[in-house]
Chain A
Amino acid sequence: MIILDPKRAFRFPIEAKNISPDIFAKKSSKEIAALQMWEGNRKGALGDLFNIKNDSGSPSEEFTIKIEGDASKLRNIGARMSMGHIVVDGDAGMHLGEDMSGGTITVAGNAGSWAGSKMKGGTIEIKGNAGDYIGAPYRGSTKGMNGGKIIIHGNAGYEVGCFMRNGLIQILGDVGLFAGIHMSNGTIFVQGNSEGRAGAQMINGKIVICGHTPVMPTFTIDSIKPKVKVDGEKIEGPFYRFIGDLADNGNGKLFVSKTKNPHLSPYEKYLE
């Protein structure tokens, strides 16, 4: 296990895409310390910013990088990683695990926006809150998250799972506007409340909201289901099942808790 201990509190954003098990695994401690990092507009080395400790655990353990302390200024941690673990003790900055295809990232604190952007596989677990555009594509692109799992124990911001094509995003807390906008497949599972407009312009895929939420007028009620399956697990309902977004000829499934959303009861008359 490699432990990175920040030498000081960082003031400027740091380009940290070199902090990845794929890159560390092939290098000696010395080479790791020499890895290039941009801090603001200054080019430096990883060794200038962190004390690097090599804590060799049991040989069977998968390659692990642990960042102790606050990493909220570090961007692109674990970008393109395909194996191993990254553990962040504090907060993590923007673009966490961008384009990753395997391995796990665990954040004890909060994560910034764009976590799991373009990700294809692996798991990101955030114990705190997350920002906006979780699992989204790069700006302008339509290639969003295409596999893997993102679990957020706290709340998440806007446009979670934008252009999502596969995989699972699970939010134990609340979610902002436009969860699952443009999504074409995959699952978004919100255990708290949603601010609304979930599934706007969705073509396909599944969104499950267990808390309170408004539903867009371009969704039509389809049925009431006693439970819904998420990632092989049965979630107890009952749920209203909506189909949409009809404005885009979509066939996405939006499951909304019946008990938490009494304001949606007038829809039931369309089921008779």
Chain B
Amino acid sequence: MTELIIKNGFVYDPLNRIDGEKMDISIRDGKIVESVKEKANGINASGMVVMPGGVDIHTHIAGGEVNSGRLLRPEDHVKDVEVKTALTRSGVGYSIPSTFTTGYRYSKMGYTTLMNPSMAPLEARHTHEELADIPMVDKAAYPLLGDWWFSLEHIRDGLIEENAAHIAWMLQATRGYAIKIVNPGGLEAWGFGRNVHSLDDVVPHFNITPREIIRGLCKVNRLLNLPHTIHVHTNNLGKPGNYVTAIETMKCVEDLAQGDKPVIHITHIQFCAFKGSDWSTLSSGAGEISKYVNNHNHVTLDMGQVIFSNTTTMTADGPFQYGLYNITGNKWVNHDVETETSGGIVPFKYKRSSAVHATQWSIGLEIALLIEDPWKILMTTDHPNGGPFTSYPKILAWLMSRAAREITLSKINKRARKKSLLPSIDRELSLYELAIVTRAGQAKALGLKPKGHLGVGADADVAIYNIDPQRLDISKEYKVARKAFKKAAFTIKDGEVVVKDGEIVKPVTGKTYWIDVSTSMPHEINDDIKKKFREYWTVEYENYPLPDSFIHSSFPIPVKAEV
């Protein structure tokens, strides 16, 4: 029985409505408890901020496309090398760090839970092998199911309940956490060199529209009682004028919401908030999107903030990446995952001097600041698409300080600066709100009950930062706060101190979460499914699901479905 007590810290625990209260946090056997014995090991956190461990709802850290990205970019690694120490393994950064380095760097910033958002079902084995090699954090992956043939057929034929049973099987087969939808219909079309351009375009050979796919899977998600909503990367991503598509996507499931519970998560919203008819007239659609989100409760978003850096873009959205390749003329990878999905990788440099890139930078922050309720907009960079996750402290500084925004604003492209809405926004996020956008809100959107808070029974994942809220005005001294968020004073994972003063002091392995849905309706393995696997997949149906032995530190979350 190991006990630990964090004393006298200023606790920010938004899920339990604790806003900077000076209190002790007691930990026993990896869980938060009411109290511990006097002689328990203590951490003196006086003059420091105590928050739940960070949660990242959307970060590409493992899997086929991440690894292809690593192979594509030796010049990205050579500039950022981590040397082996007595405790940690060697590795490389920068935009696509190697597995161990990914875990270490997240942990140093106080993060304890990561969600890998795009796992081609066929590459689930690869993804889980890499996840197993990412230390220090708990993790999960979302299988890409928006262009899954059986779903398209079921939804077209109105067989929502049958599809729910099938998706339950898929989540089990791939050890997935949520339903990920990328450019619904577009990826299937990309198999034939085409794309879909609106919610009502017909997907070739399937006679179904993106709208029907999103609505169908949203209904499936509800029938299965999955903790997270559908996780959607919209159609027309990265195209001027696409904010209309983003709003239509949110609208199309409006009627499926029950009460205030969200039913859709639109990811990296910055990339789908472009206004204008072409790149030269590009402006921000942040106003329209935030207005919609402020008036509706069925949606959560994450930022997909752009950082001015040399990064590597990677999505399952093959046609989008092809467009990006055409713009940059850079080397690229086009990946076709058999019948299931696609993928693309293009190295990309976001420049301050570019009107488009600077506008993108502005859009991300505008949305985050214009949406009044921080529970609806979560902080991400869509790592590594907008920039590497190691830049998170920079984003926090922009969110907490108008002065920090103004300094960057003064350095960006003139045309972009003129169009930017940022000068009209005074809002500065408090530590309480920052705790929401980096952990509490993320855990709530994910439905991850033991994460994102410090109430009794929660996992003892804690981040302690060297910020004294009574002495430090974070909006003025954002540089101090930024530094503190870069190197956590302590990171505690499952009740153990794993990081001290921004350095790893104890390497640990994390759990892999997946959703184990029990359905009363059996998943029918008919001959048609078997025949399709035999004819169109390289893997037979029998060999398709991952065996239990394959997942290291497997942690299924049982869920009872309505079908």
Which residues of A line the B interface, CB within 8 A?
137-141
Contact = CB atoms under 8 A, between A and B. Distances in A.
A11 to B, nearest CB: 23
A141 B331 CA distance: 10
| Overall SS of chain B's interface | helix
Nearest to A141: B75
Given A140-B73, A140-B76, A140-B331, 11 more contacts: A137-B75, A138-B74, A138-B75, A138-B78, A139-B74, A139-B75, A140-B72, A140-B74, A140-B75, A141-B74, A141-B75
B331 to A, nearest CB: 8
A14 B9 CA distance: 51
Interface string B61-77: 00000000000111110
A215 to B, nearest CB: 25
| Overall SS of chain A's interface | loop
Nearest to B347: A140
Contacts of B76: 140
Contacts of A141: 74-75
Nearest to A248: B329
7 contacts: A138-B74, A138-B75, A138-B78, A140-B73, A140-B331, A141-B74, A141-B75
Contacts, number: 14
Contacts of B74: 138-141
A140 B312 CA distance: 13
B92 to A, nearest CB: 12
Contacts of A138: 74-75, 78
A141 B310 CA distance: 12
Interface in B328-363: 331
Contacts of B73: 140
A140 B78 CA distance: 10
Q: Which 9 pairs from chain A and chain B are nearest by CB?
A: A141-B75, A140-B75, A140-B74, A139-B74, A138-B75, A140-B73, A138-B78, A139-B75, A138-B74
Interface in B20-78: 72-76, 78
A117 to B, nearest CB: 12
A137 B331 CA distance: 15
A139 B74 CA distance: 6
A137 B73 CA distance: 13
Contacts of A137: 75
Q: Which of B72, B75, B76, B331 is the most central at the interface, judged by chain A CB atoms within 10 Å of its CB?
A: B75
Q: Which of A137, A138, A139, A140 is the most central at the interface, judged by chain B CB atoms within 10 Å of its CB?
A: A140
A43 to B, nearest CB: 12
Contacts of B72: 140
A137 B78 CA distance: 12
B313 to A, nearest CB: 16
A141 B77 CA distance: 11
A138 B74 CA distance: 8
A137 B74 CA distance: 11
Nearest to B76: A140
Contacts of A140: 72-76, 331
A140 B310 CA distance: 14
